[in-house]
Structure 1
Amino acid sequence: MNPIPSKAEILAWIADHPGAAAKRDIAKAFGIKGAARIELKRILKELEEDGAIERRRRSFRDPTKLPPVAMLTVLAPDRDGDVFARPVEWQGEDPAPRVLFIAKKGDAAVGEGDRILAKITEVAGEDHGYEARLIRKLGTNPHRILGIFRKGAEGGRIVPIDKGADLEWMVAAGATLDARDGELVEAEQSGPKVRMGLPRARIVDRLGDPTAPRAVSLIAIHQHGIPDDFPDDAIAEADGAKPAPLGDREDLCHLPFVTIDPADARDHDDACFAHADDDPKNEGGHIVWVAIADVAHYVTPQSALDREARRRGNSTYFPDRVVPMLPERLSGDLCSLHEGVVRPVLAVWMKLDAKGRKVSHRFTRAMIRSVASLNYTEVQAAQDGQPNDRCAPLMEPVIAPLYAAYEATKTARAMRQPLDLDLPERRIEIGEDGHVKSVAFRDRFDAHRLIEEFMILANVAAAE
């Protein structure tokens, strides 16, 4: 029998294996068997009481670790020219960790005080604990211009493609991004608005030939009048939004909710969780939770955000970009159920019988913490017996119960005999050069149908 590991050894292992930290995983890693598991349970309980770890249903996590996606505030460059950032939401008792921002070619320029949504990676052996790569820059609202660049002696001008725009924009020599004469460019206003003379802009993206594929979606946005700029008051409201407090909400952070979306999804609007019903009067039944981001907490009636969202009606999707209905501060952060981050939701609890028929339901405003942001392909592969490292520890507590509940709903669906429109969805793949590489049908898995069936159940509950 292997010796019981120390608390330090257990904490180090949990830090190295955040996705596989159930008690049985820890026991397996250290070769702990039989009665020794009781001692391991005692140590884990002590660590939990000390605040060194926190329980997530059947697994443990370090509460002082940053999640895989986080919002950061950019700090001023240090004397070596490195740019660091600090997390906006930090729950640890110790000072927030140092996060080095690593920019890649094509990223939007960031400066001191900017807020960004970033992908976080923990690093070792450095004077900083994490590194961040830009997902989106938040809270900026410069006026955007799409037009043809005309090169001049000291920079050039932009001729907008909008039919109703009769005003050209001046571009200084240092703000052309080396654009060529005749290129389609995207620019943003630089400096204050002027009363006399031409307004100034700086080029942020070169789109090349106006007839090239990358230019099509931007031209469509402008020619069809799809609003891609938010009013200043809407941006101000979004910037002023704070993470929702627990308050009177039901705390569901102990439940292992997961989001399941397409592999290329950037935002996560809904999450789910299921388990077998332990009520002896409902033998073979299931409990299904469906939670959606509580947008209404941030978008209140008749607010600037509400008026702008009503004007837009929906987000607009193109193969290479999306025009969101809400500013990025909300759509990409506070209203997105990112892995490991506490978020407010409107959730419905549903009791199903063994044949998948809904017996009862209740709604609640709650707080959840998604344990994983998964995609349809990996979830289906896991259910088919080939789980990856992310899905393996979630099979027993999360994925298998979801599929068990779904199998029951298939029985109820067959009894209802609904109109079954299982229509194919096409996926357009864009290459780095902006050209269409392929147009193919997306694979349809039971993982897709599972989410769809639970969403239908949730809507039926809402209608009732």
Structure 2
Amino acid sequence: MNQIPSREAILQWIADNPTLTAKRDIAKAFGIKGAARIDLKRILRELEDEGHLQKRARSYRESDKLPPISVVQVLEADGDGDIFLRPLEWNGAEAPPRILLIVQPGDPAVATGERLLAKLTAVQDEDYAYTARSIRRIGTNPLRILGIYRQDSEGGRILPVDKAVHNQWVVNPGLSGGALDGELVEAEQAGPKGRLGLPKARIVARLGDPSAPRAVSLIAIRQHGIPDHFPDAAMAEADAAQPVTALDGRTDLTDLPLVTIDPPDARDRDDAVLAQADPDVEGGFILWVAIADVAHYVTPGSALDREARKRGNSTYFPDRVVPMLPDRLSGDLCSLHAHVPRACLAVRMTIDANGHKTGHQFFRGIMQSAASLSYAEVQDAIDGQPNDATAPLLEPVLKPLYAAYDALLRAREARQPLELDLPERQIILSDEGKVTSVSFKERLDAHKLIEEFMVLANVAAAEELTKKKTPLLFRVHEEPAPEKLEALREMAQASGLQLAKGQVLHTRHLNRLLSQAAGSDQAEVINMATLRSMTQAYYSAQNFGHFGLALRNYAHFTSPIRRYSDLIVHRALISANHFAGVKRDGLSQTDVEDLDQTGEMISASERRSMMAERDTTDRYLAAFLSSHVGAEMTGRIAGIVKFGLFVRLDETGADGLVPVRSLGNEYFHYDRDSQTLMGGNSGIVFELGQRVTVRLAEAAAVTGGITLELIEREGQTMPRGPRGGGKGVRRMPGKIKGKLAKAAKKEKRKVIRKRS
């Protein structure tokens, strides 16, 4: 038989034989040989163009059916514990079919978001279309990208918004998801790299106009995978929650004039404070810190608990907050609004005249805040300018708070925690979401007061649970690695400063270094270098101390609205003290068993939020500076890499890159140890901390990238390098290293002479 079958016959064969759909299989089934294969190829292409078939590698299948072997993604288990899968190779016009995962004894557990290569079987008369058996795992998450979609004659391409990603992604026809040219889209990899080495993509979400002011934080949320939609079950639990009005075994704290002190635009107020002179100790104080009782509403194993653990913490952007808990809790029932009874966990602490804690006791109670105040109005009241809200509280509440704070400062001075001076940037947005100004936040004594009260309460929580041998999550900050300390020491020496060597490192040694640099041209660089030498803090069931705060026992207790770690500590305190409701909302056996995993999860989610917040700030700064392209600005070299200099601009604190190719028509040698770049011909040395004047060459709001051109270095005008620079003499590494060291010393002597 060599007669070409009808189109209907071919479609029927493919439907009946889903595992034999290659062109060779179809030709063999119908006895097609020789030149007749060309006609078969033509018919298959027509069926594909008309949407009846979809080509997959070298085989064909019906466009509204899944192949027998396919890549799927694991969805969250439903209320009955059944696990459904999402097909990643679906190209039909309708919604993708439901796939039930059949788990056999001995099969490994699968996690939400994980991708599997699975064998699919079509089923009838069920509320799902396929069953699946896992063949093997192929990764936790598909490779995803966020970018701008650009249509072309062959489908389209995606231009990444992440400045660290340089490759475009190819979108084949039919996989665009209806995206329009210029839209911000989210896509996932849909196949191996193509002919040009570019990955293939499938658009999974259209996110709208990338130039819209409020798209900036949305980009970060999607790019970093921050959950921003609460499941229906979690919302239902939050909506059903009711305020605590009856004591039911709680302690009545409503007579205490506790006050909350927060930023003026705060939506959640989860901590309240009070200080009273201790009648039994001269110069001593009784301090109260009351925290919203989140554990009453978010019980172990509940939908709210599962979602809070997954999120780990709230994430804060200039234009929005992605909260750990729904607003019904974070903005209402767990917010200590003024003159409203609220459930709380409170700690009563006693300190002596030198600010050392002499005792503490925890309570589960009901409180009523006497006032909701802002940092600025509290500071104004202490400075002699009270307003209507603070005037009645000045003598009985605010002055005792500051007197207790003075005592706590004496204890802080003795303890010597790390005293970094790194101002925090503040981005001000208009009502439309556009950046109106960028400034540095003012640090008032009111801010520091609350910080010291919170630190002491966190210490009390860790000590209480350690004493009672109750499992908890510690906030751990280990001491710096030796190699990072050595790099910091070398940088200090190059700046004419000293960092002690040959002894056990304490924070007081680092504080001496910071004190030496204070007020000098090197202050910011030394502060940044000290910060970079630190290890990153994390959560752990094991206690390794907190190096930065110079504390042996430390746990987060004061913000359970926005940190899951604090919720675990609250449950532990409820269990350790056998408070009312302990069986309902104390520490569960599952909490204890999963403590190590929980610590790892929330440490990772904290890092995720930090990166998202940083990327958002970079994009807002780039958007703000985009209207200043061509302007000259001053700054300081804050980072040196092989491909250029990172300059921190004075006015905004934004970091921009001066590409090495623009520095001059010579080869620049990079020395990692000394963190310098040196011109192979001119001998010019660029090092950390140098003052520079730059011209803003580019500010890309979508990626957050800022490109600068160097004009002056330490008052010396720099030659303009051609775009294709980088030519010049490449000296031998051994020779250049000696020259680098000599040049760096020469440059440093110049700087020291200028200072003296």
TM-score above 0.5, yes or no = yes
Deviation at 1:183, TM superposition (A): 8.4
Q: What's the counterpart of residue 292 of structure 2?
A: 293
Q: Deviations over 1:124-148 (max 9, x none)?
A: xxxxxxxxxxxxxxxxxxxxxx999
| 421-430 or 263-272: bigger deviation | 421-430
Q: 1:209 Cα deviation (Å)?
A: 4.3
Corresponding position of 1:250? 251
Amino acid in structure 2 at the alignment position of 1:346: L
Across the aligned residues of Structure 1 and Structure 2, the Cα RMSD in angstroms comes to 3.1
Which residue of structure 1 aligns with residue 322 of structure 2? Answer: 323
Give me the whole-angstrom Cα distance separating, in 2, the residues matched to 1:167 and 1:297. Answer: 46
The Cα of 1:429 is off from its aligned counterpart by 0.3
In structure 2, what is the Cα distance between the partners aligned to 1:322 and 1:298?
A: 21
Alignment pair present for 1:241 and 2:241: yes
Output the CA distance in 1 between the equivalents of 2:386 and 2:176. 57
Gaps spanning 5+ residues in structure 2: where? Answer: 1-145, 149-159, 161-168, 186-206, 464-756
1:419 aligns with 2:442: no
Q: Which runs of 5+ in 1 are unaligned?
A: 1-145, 149-160, 170-180, 186-206
Deviation at 1:462, TM superposition (A): 1.0
Letter in 1 for 2:254: C
| Partner-residue secondary structure (3-state), 1:427 | strand
Aligned residue in 2 for 1:232: 232
What secondary structure is seen at the aligned counterpart in 2 of 1:237? Answer: helix
Take 1:377 and 1:327, find their aligned partners in 2: how far apart are those partners? 28
Q: How far apart are 1:452 and its partner, in Å?
A: 0.5
3-state SS in 1 of match to 2:407: helix
Which residue identity lines up with residue 265 of structure 2 in the other structure? D
The structure, 1 or 2, with the larger RCO (C-alpha pairs under 8 Å, 6+ apart) is: 1
Q: CA deviation at 1:242?
A: 1.3
Structure 1 residue 212, shift from structure 2 partner? 3.0
Matches within 5 A, 1:89-108: none
CA distance in 1, matches of 2:284, 2:355: 8
1:313 aligns with 2:312: yes
Matching of residues 7-86 of structure 1 within 5 Å: none
Cα shift at 1:460:
1.1
Does residue 462 of the first structure (1) align with residue 461 of the second (2)?
yes
Aligned AA (2:430): G
In structure 2, relative to structure 1, the CA distance for the partners of 1:420 and 1:345 (3 Å cut) is same
Counterpart of 1:360? 359
Measured against aligned partners, the alpha-carbon deviations of 1:57-89 in whole angstroms (never above 9, x if no partner) come to xxxxxxxxxxxxxxxxxxxxxxxxxxxxxxxxx
Look up the match of 2:106.
none
How many corresponding residue pairs? 277
Number of the residue aligned with 2:268: 267
In 1, distance between residues paired with 2:182 and 2:257?
54
- Code of the aligned partner of 1:402: L
Structure 1 residues 315-337: Cα deviation after superposition (integer angstroms, max 9, x where no partner): 11111001111111111111111
> C-alpha displacement at 1:182, in angstroms?
8.1
1:373 counterpart letter in structure 2: S
CA 166–352 in structure 1, closer or farther in 2 if over 3 Å, else same = farther
The separation in 2 between residues aligned to 1:209 and 1:283, in whole angstroms, is 64
Rounded Cα–Cα distance in structure 2 between residues aligned with 1:436 and 1:270: 30
Which protein is bigger by CA-based radius of gyration? 2
Hey, which of these two has a bigger chunk of helix by percent? 2
Code of the aligned partner of 2:314: S
- Note if 1:216 corresponds to 2:222: no
3-state SS of 2:343 partner:
strand
Indicate the residue corresponding to 2:279 in structure 1.
Answer: 278
Within 5 Å, which residues of 2 pair with 1:162-201? none
* Counterpart position of 1:190: none
Corresponding residue of 2:19: none
**1:410 deviation in Å?**
1.1
SS of equivalent residue, structure 2 residue 274: strand
CA distance in 2, matches of 1:446, 1:378: 12
Whole-Å separation in 2 of the counterparts to 1:248 and 1:224? 44
Provide the residue aligned with 2:379 in structure 1: 380
Compared with structure 1, are the counterparts of its residues 274 and 434 closer, same or farther at alpha carbon in structure 2 (3 Å cutoff)? same
3-state SS in 1 of match to 2:406: helix
The alpha-carbon deviation at position 413 of structure 1 amounts to 1.4
Task: Measure the CA separation in 2 of the matches of 1:184 and 1:456.
Answer: 42
Partners of 1:147 and 1:459 lie apart in 2 by 42
Residues of 1 paired with 2:400 and 2:459: CA distance?
Answer: 21
The whole-number CA distance in structure 2 between the counterparts of 1:434 and 1:236 is 31
Instruction: Identify which range, 222-231 or 361-370, moves more after superposition.
Output: 222-231
Match of 1:398 in 2: 397
Q: Match of 2:337, SS?
A: coil
Query: What CA deviation, in whole Å up to 9, does each residue of 1:295-331 have, x standing for no partner?
Result: 1111111111111001111111111001111111111
Shift of 1:425: 1.5
Moved more, 429-438 or 303-312: 429-438
Mapped to 1, the partners of 2:231 and 2:339 lie a distance apart of 32
CA-to-partner distance for each residue in 1:156-206, whole Å, 9 max, x for gaps? Answer: xxxxx9x9997979xxxxxxxxxxx98889xxxxxxxxxxxxxxxxxxxxx
